[in-house]
Structure 1
Amino acid sequence: MGAADIVPGVSGGTMAFITGIYDRLLGSIRSFDLAALRLLLAGRVRELWRHVDGAFLLALLAGIATSILSLARLISWVLEHHPVPLWAFFFGLILASALVLLQQVGRWTPGRVACLALGAGAALLVALSPAMGLGGGLAGVFLAGFVAICAMILPGISGSFILVLLGMYATVLAAIKSLDLLFIAVFALGAACGLMVFSRLLYWLLHRFHAATMALLTGFLFGSLAVVWPWKRALDWVVDSQGEPRPVQQVPILPAEYLQLTGDSPQTWLCLGLAVFGALAVWLVHWRWGGARPS
């Protein structure tokens, strides 16, 4: 999940779905409630630990933190020097994930088809939106964390891509690299607040309207394929914290048009191979750990 959350266009929530821990994750987050607060104030630490599924959360957060701290530089370098093959790999991964999650919907009805279309449309709208820039100092950092974490736990909606749209991606990545503790603390506080609010809504939807919600989330995945399509044409640019131009609004194009536009090889066969590899990786994880099972 940590590795996925670093890359704009790939959702950590997708990884949670693929590995079959999504419901448990939402339930664990939701358990930080008044009952947990009472246990904490009473000093009943062991009961609190069991109440919030502490062992699960500790292992998960340790893995996410390790991945972010260790892979931030590597993924930044790959995005800078070999973006097209990397996006191809993630395209195959997300396409296969969406196909796996279709099993969760069960019997299709007009309402569920509408939810699928709504999710795909919402993800496409986010994917093709221009950057908006977010100021406000630490208040802006808090808001960015609040909004981005909501996307990070939604399959198909990338928290990193939301940060790109808010004009905060390069700033957040630079803060992680330099260990700017104040920035990280404010961002984490915003993320924690957003997580508490949004996880409860998702948990309620999944338990009251499971099939329709799964159709909506699967639509998010299909719509997000526009973000990770390997060949893109930039419509809008911004200058990052290092003074380098970064595309913030892009549209998918064909490999031949990419060659004409950029003069660079589209690496079509390499991209196809990496997309297939990504799809096989999803299938392997789904087969090995059970993944998402039909409802």
Structure 2
Amino acid sequence: MKTEDISLFHRIVETGSLVDAADLLNLPKSTVSRRLQTLEDDLKVKLFHRQSRSMTLTASGSHFYDKTQSILGDLEQTMVELTDTEAEIGGHLRILIFPVPQLQDIVTGIFEFMDHNPDLTVELIVSTEPQDMIRNKIDLAFMVEDAFNENEMVAREMLSEVLHFVASPEYLAKAGTPVLPEELSNHNSILFRYPNGRIFNEVPFGNDRTIAVKGNLCLNSIELCLQATLSGRGIAFLPIEATHEYVERGELTMLFEDVEPYIGKCYLVYPSRRFISLASQRFIDHMMAALERCNSGRGCGREERLRGAIKSWHG
């Protein structure tokens, strides 16, 4: 019985079909089927009820899946303990990234990790759409707060982002400039939808209260929200790093400048129900160190960009 075949069995369980598992593993369906049959022959039990389009676990298969989760996890942990921390690793990582303003900083850190581990292959998925990380074999994801279920995920805080209210001079000339937070409800706000389906219509005002907003346009892209704001569609709550250049050029106006800006957070998350591979553990350690340097301005120039943004915010 091979450990690789047990891991393959887990992928079939998580995707629900041989075809999907074969696609994710980049293997012929016939190879996946043959290796599954070998595993069943070794165990002398039937692991799946095979149907035309899907596969469901037998009672024995369910028991084997539950027990081998911890076994695979213990094996990976043993490899971590025995392997030189500087040794190169292989394997494949699928990484989901929410299109945050620091996307380039995250990708730069990923490329550095790949350079240190040339035998590793990586697939990057940039999306704001909901993704079943287990079913789609996504190992890790960079997501903003409120965009994932904390009960199903382990989350490590990676980045922070300053957000504030902005609008175009054209919109304010037409609709007026809100002075009090309560006046926001009388304006058209550009709404944002999180990957989990939640609409961001309870907006932080400072760091100690929220304001209910409404609007006739809802988007799931920060870049599109920015473009809609520049087009005079309404007031938006956006990262300062994404808007400060437009504020400096007078294309956007920052509102409520006397209110402390809100600090949003981006997390590195992974499913709590799945063991973490050696590659994933090393990757988490690398990104924590890389983005710490980035946040402190030592690695990617982010501090210089934010300094200009905060300066423009203070006027």
Smaller-chain TM-score range?
Answer: under 0.3
Greater RCO, 1 or 2 (C-alpha within 8 Å, sep 6+): 1
Q: Comparing both structures, which one devotes a greater share of its residues to helix?
A: 1
Determine which structure has more spread, i.e. the larger CA radius of gyration.
2
Bigger strand share: 2
